[in-house]
Structures are given as C-alpha cells and as structure tokens.
Structure 1
Amino acid sequence: MEIDPTEVVNFDDEEETTATSKEKSRNQLNSYVAITVALLATFMGICQVKGDNIVQQMQQAQADKIDYWAWYQARNIREEIANATVVQLQLQANSQPPAARSTYQKQIVAFQQLARSQNQKKEELRAKAENEQKKYDKLNVHDDQFDLSDAFVSIAIALFALTSLLQKRWLFGAAMIPTAFGVFMGFTGLLAWDIHPKELTKLISQTPPKTEAELKLTSNYSSARSQF
C-alpha cells in the first residue's frame, strides 16, 4: 500500500489548524476573563471607599443618637425634680401665714418655668435622637447594598477563575449573572437609590437567635426607657 505524501501533509495541516484555532479560542476567553476581572476589581475598590464612608457616618449617627437620649433622660430627671419641688412648695405654702406665701409663690413660679423649659428641651432632644435613628436606618440600607454588591462580585470573580482554569464558555456566561446583580447593587449604593432586597439581606446577614439572658436584658432596657 502506497502512502500519498500530500495526504499526510494535509492531515498535519488540519491538526495544526485545529490546534491553532483552540489556542486562539483559549487566549480569547482568557482575555475576556482578565478584562472583566480587572473591571470588577476596580469597581469593588470604588464601592469599598464609598462603603467605608457610609460606615463612618453610621457610627457618627449612632453616637449622636446615644448622646441625645442621654441628655433627654437628664432633662427628664430635671423636669421631674422641678415638678416635685413645685408640689412640695405648694404644700408648704398652704401651711404658711399669708404674708409669707408670696415668697413661696415666687419659687413655685420659678420651678414651674424650669419644668416647662426642661420639657421643651427634652422634646427637642427626642426629635433629634429620632432623626439620627432615621439617618442611621437610611445609611444602613446603602451599607447593605454595598455588602450585597461585594458578595456577588466576589462570587463572580471566583466563577471567572474557574472559567479560565476549565476553559468552559458556559461558565463565563454563568459568572455574568452574579456580576450583573453585584454591579447593579453597587450602583444603587453609589447613586443612593432606595432599592433594598430585605429578604436577601436577611439571608446573608442573619444573626443567631438571642439567648434567654439577652432577651431579658433587652426587655428590662425597653421597660426602663419607656418610663422616661
């Protein structure tokens, strides 16, 4: 049996062409992965800076709220003391001769004014504390947006690494799903959009249930606070 040299050459050319095509496809996929990961890393860096600023604002709002409630309680105590003093002076005035009652009456009026002043300042502090809580809650929404963005972009980068390793184009398409959602949530945080997937946030940031002692402590704190 004779071997045609031209057939051997053609077969070698086909193998070389196939290998070249596969190498080209591999390089192209790796290029897509590298560019996408570089863009995602840059986007994550920008979101990280904005997220850190939001966390600092949340900490400041929380500290201001605690200060306002502390001052609220102090004003409330002063008001209660002033009201109690008014009652005491009124009782004492009733047992005094008419000539001495005018002095008591002046003190009663002064403490009544003090009580009203403390009540007014107390309510102003309550409003400020509640505003700081609203500010904290609003910032927390944007913080959750950045957390979701970071989580899904990290998942996407991991899938891109598998794509480059296994050379599976369908993995690249699968990685684009968390990429799209992560980038979208990042933009909602950067642009301060009011989009907050609560159920997904709860799933990711779910905390363990409180112990009986923690629940009792929380209940006691709420009861004490309601008295003010």
Structure 2
Amino acid sequence: MAYRYATERADHSDLASGTVLRSAPGHPGFPVRLADELFQRAAARAAPDGRPVALWDPCCGSGHLATTVGLLHRERLSWVLATDADPAALGIARRNLALLTAGGLAERERGLRADAAAFGRPAMEERAEAAARLAARLRAAGGDLPAAARTGDAFAPQPPERPVDVVLTDIPYGGLTRWRDAPAEGGDPVGALLRALAAVLPPEAVITVTARTRKVALPEGVAALERVRVGNRAAVLVRAADARA
C-alpha cells in the first residue's frame, strides 16, 4: 500500500515558538516543517481512508508540538490530547491548546495589541497580525478543535478518554528537558515508553517518537514502519500492535 502525504514549502513563521504560541525556558519548541511531515506520515498510516484522527502527545512540555499540528491540520483532526508529568509545563500547554479555538486566538490577539500600545513595540503588533492570520486559517479549516491537557505519566499512562490514532512526541533530551523517574529498558527508556503507550492504544494506532540523535533505537523485536532524519533530529514510526509486550 502506498502512503501519501505532502509538505508545503510554505511560510510557517506564524507558528514559531514565541510568536503567537507561548514558550518558556526549559520547554523548547519543535521545528514546524518537521511536525507537519511527521504528522502526515503517521496519519496516512493510521487512517489511510483519510478520516479525521485523534492526536496525543504524552510528553507535551509547553504543548507547542500538539498545538502546531492542530493549527496546521485542523481538517484532519478530531481531537488533541496533551499530557505531561510537569505541572509548570502543563500550565503553558493549556494556554497554547486554547489557541485551537477562535476565542483563544482572539484573546491572544487582543493581548498582543494591548502590549504593543502600552510598550510601543512594533514586534507585538506583528505578532498580533500573526494571531489574526492563524484565526482565519482555523475558521477556514473547520473552526474550533476539541483539545485537552492533563497530568500524565508517559510510563504509566491512563487510557485516553477517546481512542487515539496518532501519538507524536519529542522525547526529553540534553540539558533542556529530562525524564522524570523513567524506567530503563536495556539502558534506554524509549522501549519502556513504547510498551507503555501501546498498552493503552488501539492496535492500529501509530506511535511517532522523535529525539535529537542520529537514530531512535528500538527494543529487540519491534519493527519500524518508517524512519526519518532531518538535521539533528531522528524520528521513528511504530505500529502500536508491534510495540506491545
């Protein structure tokens, strides 16, 4: 079976972390073009009939990745879930996921315009215009996208309240972020993460894991659907059924 996806050579600067989407130290953004490509690859495999899919980021941090995909692919999504073990990160994630609604984007635009007027900063006005463009894009793609952010341990996850088709997550790395009490499987927590997520997902769901590494290592016996490498990031797509213990 051929899986088709397309990436636009479009200007995604409105989605850059810190423009409209909120950022914070220790909660880095994610390359928008790579998020676009990986989601399309995973969605094509999880739902080749083109139906809307539900997305889950179980290591969401600031929620930048989940919110970006929601704004890029509203028409392909039915629901977005973001979970993380860090309460501070979830506070930012909730504010970012609110941008998947017309009300949230309107509030963000008003705040940026107010800051531009109060502090005389033209850059704030430019960011307000970006929020307006994202709102127009969301309306054209189908309007508000249901989304939720809650506390969750990626190594002992609760079953999502709705069936999830696609998991897309950027795992902690380096000095910016770190695992919290991660169980290691052969010295690498990726295998434990895949097993834990697969246990609460439908068997046909697709798990996409990215990291700043040359190659995301998989545990013995788990086959990759696809591998992608762009710059200093590598990604692997795995069928949930294939990752179950």
Q: Same fold (TM over 0.5)?
A: no
| Larger helix fraction of residues | 1
TM-score (norm 1): 0.24
| Larger strand fraction of residues | 2
TM-score (norm 2): 0.23
Q: Which has the higher contact order (CA 8 A, sep 6+)?
A: 1
